[in-house]
Structure 1
């Protein structure tokens, strides 16, 4: 694996012929940092797939503050993020690719089949979701959630959560005016 914490870009050769990259392990803070370094060695990359989604981060990555690489400016046309759970780190990575990729044509986001895997305890939902006028006041009492988090309400809440994430992502600034953002489950 190319992802070792502490690996620096100067230790990697330039991969001029690599057009497609699939990251097949879960992204962690260390692998997100390594990915930024790796991107700087892939000047002709056209497509990247993050296949296994993201693990829970114990620290905040500075992914969005990295320098923009040549592949993002001139060549990256497709990004796919699978196993998406809507975490802050996932949103930062998606925002980075959308904002910095000047020729991006498609951003495909596939929700995790266990969405929201990172929120098994729904009391950790972002506060703005719980402040939604669409949520009845009695449902905002977290102590009652074990009883109401079954069946129809749970499905309704998952739809609300997905819709909120879709709207948030659609509002991200885009470096490419031709980029289509696609969502699937």
Structure 2
């Protein structure tokens, strides 16, 4: 995980070599390291789990990425509940529903997509909720910064998640219970 100089979440490096490269080039400092060691010809390096950039990086592009309603992001935001009837659903049993249907010009954005059980999605079809006597339990909204980080953290393996969460808690940034 890469944190900006302001300790704001910046990115997740998919490959350890990229995070190590940031540290070795002097662009970042490690805040948390894995116990794993990479052995070079002359040096051994501990793998960084969380790094802090030495300078502030602009984050406009990252914010735009989260306007896309990925399945995982929508399910996390809606707490794995059908937004019409309140039934608990999973990633496999639930669906994404466009509140204003795409066939009626509804956008594919976080403020127009909710989770729905299959029954409610079929019942609503290509209509507006009030046209079929349905109401939303919660209004769809864009993800908060905490929810964005939660989405990313939940996508990684337990080893990385545990290292990141420990570091974030020590920094007083442990708002994102995984």
Q: Normalized against structure 1, the TM-score is what?
A: 0.31
User: Max radius of gyration: which structure?
Assistant: 2
Structure with the higher helix share, 1 or 2: 1
Structure with the higher strand share, 1 or 2: 2
